[in-house]
Chain A
Amino acid sequence: MSFVEYGDTIKDGDTAIVFLGHESMFPVKVQHGTVTQTKYGVIRHSTDLIGKKYGSKVTCSKGGWVFILHPTPELWTMNLPHRTQILYSTDISIITMMLELKPGSIVCESGTGSGSLSHALIRTVAPTGHLYTVEFHQQRAEKAQEEFREHGVEHLVTVTNQDVCKNGFGVSNIADAVFLDIPSPWEAIGHAKAALKAEGGRICSFSPCIEQVQRTCLAMEEYGFTEINTLEILLRVYNVRTISLQIPDLGKAAEDNSSAGFDSSSPSNQGSPCANLQQGTVQFKSGVPLREMVGHTGYLTFATKS
C-alpha cells in the first residue's frame, strides 16, 4: 500500500479504511496480532486482513461484515484525525486544477494543518514532484511528518517547522505553485513570490472571510501577480429516493388512464410517474438535496506570477 500507488493485497503496516456502510468508515493501521472493534464485532488483523485483497468483504465475529478499502487522499480526507479545520475534496479538486498541478510539479504549502490537502498534492505531483510544506505549530508539524512516513510518501514531501509569514518557505525559485491556508496570507505573498520559479507559476490562497480576501488581493497586485481571480465552489449532494405523492380525491371516478406499471426502460417514458390509482398515489424517482449542506468553506483566490 501507498497513497500514491495502488497495492493489491493488504500488508502489515498498511493504513486501510474500514467501511461500515452508510458513509461511516474509519481508518485502521494493520498490524499482526492486533484486533479492531467495530459495531459488527471484532476484526483480527492477522487472519481477517493481512493477505486479503483490497475491496473484499470481511466478516466480523458477530456475523456482520465490513469492506476494507485501499486508502486514497479522498478517503483519508474523510477519515483523518482533525488537528485543525481541513479542506475537503471539492475545494481540493479545484485547487489542483487551477494551480495546474501535474506529476513533476514542485509545490509549496502552508500551513500543513491536518494534512488533508497535502496528501492530495503529493498524489498529484508523484512520482517526480515534491511538496514543501510549512507549519509553525511544532506538534502538528511532527504529527504530519509521522503520517507521511506511515503512508509511504515521505520521499515526496519536506515538512518545515517555521512561521511562513516571517521566514518564508525555506526554498526559493523552485516552485511551480504555492498554496496558502493561513490566517494572514497577505503577509506571506512576498515569500510566495520568492518561492516560485523565476519563469513564473501559480498561487492560491484560501480564506473564509472576504476581508482577508481583499487584503490578499491588494498584496498580490502589489507584488505584480496577474490574472487575479477569486471564486468559491459549493458541492451539492443528492439522495436518490423513490417518492410517492398522494392523488387528491376530487370526487371523480377513477378514469381509465392508469399507466402499465413503472416502465423506465423505454426512452419516451423515461422517469415518468407511475400512477397507481388503486392506492391513490403517484411514484417517481428523485434526487433529493440533503437537509443540511455545506454553505461556505472559503474563498479561493488564484493568481499567476509571470
Chain B
Amino acid sequence: RKIIFEKQWFYLDNAIGHIYGTTFEVTNGGNLQPKQEVEETPTETKEAGTDNRNIVDDGKSQKLTHDDIKALKDKGIKGQEIVQQLIENSTTFRGKTEFAQDKYIKKKKKKYEAVITIVKPSTRILSTMYYAREPGKINASFRNVENVQFKNSGSPMSCHSFALVGYGSIIQMYPGAGPVRAATSCFGFPKPFFDNLHEFPLSKVHSLLSGTFSTETLPSDPEENALVEEESNGLTDEKQTSHQEAEEEPTTEAAMEINQTEEQETMDINAEEVEFKESKEKENKENVRDKQIKQWERRKKLMETAAFLREKNADGLIVASKFHPTPLLLSLLEFVAPSRPFVVYCQYKEPLLECYTKLRERGGVINLKLSETWLRNYQVLPDRSHPKLTMSGGGGYLLSGITVVLDKGKSDSSNSEALKMEEPSPKRCKVQDLHC
C-alpha cells in the first residue's frame, strides 16, 4: 500500500516487525531502517563566530546552485551527505555563532533528511494530530480536561470530531466497567431514548484503523496538510457506559470492537502488526455479513440502549458537537444519575453563556463552571529557553458541573422546558453550520 505523507511517498511493508517509536528514513519509495540514534552531522572544525556583525546577506553565501542540489538528490545520495555538502559550501557558516550553526543544520536536515517515526496511536498523538491538521475540529487540552474529569463516559456527542472522541473514550475512558455504547440520534427526535442505535459506523472504524497507522515525523511541526474531510453525515453520536452493565456480557458488536481495540492497545508490542491485520480481516468479514442479521442485531441493540437510557442512571455526560449545546444538554441530562459530572464543549463562549443560564433555571445542577485552557509549549535548550507558541481562543470552551437531585416541584416545568427547547433545534443547527 502506497502512502503519501509530507510530500513523500513510501510503502509500509518494511516497517512491519519493528518496535513502535522506531525511526525510519525514506529512500526511493520504500522504508529503510536507520539506527535509533541518528549520528550528529560532524562539523569537522568546531569554529564559530560570536555575533553577526560581519555577515552580509548578498545571496551568494551558498556556492551550490539549485541544479547542483537537484543533481545530488537525483543521484539518491543520503540526505545527511547533502546537508554536509551544503555546510561545506556555505561561506558564512564558519562565521555564524554556534547557535546559528545549530539552527542552520536543523533547518537543512528537516529539508533533506526524510525521517519518519512510527508511533503507537493514542489520544495524545491523535488529538495533537487532529488539532494540527484540522484546526477547529478538536483540541488537545479539551480532550484532556474532559477526560480526566469525566472518566465514566456518558454520552459524548459530536459529528466529525467523534472519530477522535470515540477513540479517546475507548482507550482512555473505558472504565473497565462495561461496554461503551455508541448511538445515533437523528436530530430533532423529541425523546432521545427512541434514538437509533448505531454500531460503530464504518466511517469511524476507518479512522480507528487509520489511527493505528498514525505516523509522526520528528521534529513534529504542525504542517498544514490538506486532508480529505471525512464525511460527516450530520448524525449525532452518543456513548453510554454504566458500571451497572459490568455484570452483563458485552454482547454488542461495538463492545467487541472496543475490546479488540483494548487488546490492541495493551497487547505485546511486537505482535501488534499481526494482531492488527487479524482485526482488520474480522472487520472485513463483518462488512460482508448478511444484512438481515445486522439489521436484527441493530434493532436488538437499539432496544437495549433504550432500556438502558430509561434507567436514567448514566455516570456522566459529555457533549461535543457542532450543534447548539443547550437543547442537547437539557434533554440528555435527564439520563444522568444525580451526583455525576457533565461537561459541554463548544468552540464559542456565547452558546455556553446561554446554556449556563438555562441550566440555572432548570435546576438539578451545581458547581457550574465556564472555563477555557491555554496551552503553552516551551523550547528548552541550554541558554535558549523560551515559550514557543500559545494556544488560546481556538481551543474552545468548557461548561462543566455536577448533577444533583431535582426538586420535585421543579422537574415538571423543566421537562416541558426541555421539550420547548427541542423545537427550534433543527433550525438552529443549520445556522450553526458556519465552521464546517
Contacts A/B (CB < 8 Å), 19 sampled: A55-B402, A56-B338, A56-B404, A68-B339, A74-B341, A93-B148, A93-B149, A94-B141, A96-B148, A199-B19, A213-B378, A218-B382, A233-B376, A235-B371, A235-B373, A238-B370, A240-B370, A265-B424, A285-B354
In the complex, which residue of chain A has the Cβ closest to the Cβ of B375? A233
* Interface flag for A184 (CB, 8 Å): no
A53–B338 CB distance below 8 A = yes
In the docked arrangement, what's the CA distance between A93 and B427, Å?
A: 36
* Interface flag for B377 (CB, 8 Å): yes
A189 to chain B, nearest CB (A): 14
> Of B170-178, B196-204, B232-240, B273-281, which stretch is located at the interface?
B170-178
A105 to chain B, nearest CB (A): 9
From B36, B371, B380, contact of A238 by CB (8 A): B371
- A-contacting residues, B331-352, CB 8 Å: 337-341, 349-350, 352
* Contacts A56-B404, A104-B266, A227-B218; A97 near B176 (Cβ below 8 A): no
* Interface flag for B143 (CB, 8 Å): yes
A214–B385 CB distance below 8 A = yes
- A-contacting residues, B361-383, CB 8 Å: 366-382
B189 to chain A, nearest CB (A): 20
A11 to chain B, nearest CB (A): 14
Residues of A within 8 A of B176 (CB): 103-104, 126-128
> Of A136-144, A250-258, A298-306, which stretch is located at the interface?
A298-306
* Contacts A74-B148, A92-B148, A230-B378; A237 near B370 (Cβ below 8 A): yes
| B interface with A by C-beta (< 8 Å) | 19-22, 36-37, 122-124, 127, 140-141, 143-149, 151-152, 171-172, 174-177, 218, 243, 265-266, 269-270, 315, 337-341, 349-350, 352-354, 356-357, 366-382, 385, 387, 397, 402-405, 407, 424, 427-428, 431-432
B21–A90 CB distance below 8 A = no
From A5, A68, A98, A226, contact of B177 by CB (8 A): A5
A231–B376 CB distance below 8 A = yes
Residues of A within 8 A of B140 (CB): 97
* Interface flag for A27 (CB, 8 Å): no
In the complex, which residue of chain B has the Cβ closest to the Cβ of A16? B339
Binding site secondary structure of chain A = mixed
Residues of B within 8 A of A171 (CB): none
B243–A103 CB distance below 8 A = no
Q: Render A50-63 as a binary contact track against B, CB cut-off 8 A, 1 for contact.
A: 00011111000000
From A102, A231, A232, A264, contact of B354 by CB (8 A): A264
A304–B172 CB distance below 8 A = no
Residues of B within 8 A of A102 (CB): 171-172, 174, 265-266
* Interface flag for A217 (CB, 8 Å): yes
Residues of A within 8 A of B370 (CB): 237-240, 287
| A interface with B by C-beta (< 8 Å) | 5-6, 8, 19, 21, 23, 53-57, 67-70, 72-74, 89-90, 92-94, 96-98, 100-104, 120, 123-124, 126-128, 199-200, 210, 213-214, 217-218, 224, 226-240, 264-265, 267-268, 270-271, 285-287, 299, 301, 304, 306
In the docked arrangement, what's the CA distance between A264 and B424, Å?
A: 12
In the complex, which residue of chain A has the Cβ closest to the Cβ of B421? A265
From A8, A97, A213, contact of B124 by CB (8 A): A97
* Contacts A69-B339, A104-B266, A237-B369; A231 near B377 (Cβ below 8 A): yes
B378–A299 CB distance below 8 A = yes
Residues of B within 8 A of A238 (CB): 349, 370-372, 397
B386 to chain A, nearest CB (A): 9
Given A70-B340, A93-B146, A239-B370, 11 more contacts at CB 8 Å?
Answer: A54-B339, A55-B337, A74-B341, A97-B123, A97-B124, A199-B19, A210-B385, A231-B375, A234-B375, A235-B372, A267-B427
B151–A70 CB distance below 8 A = no
A103–B366 CB distance below 8 A = no
* Contacts A55-B405, A240-B356; A306 near B380 (Cβ below 8 A): no
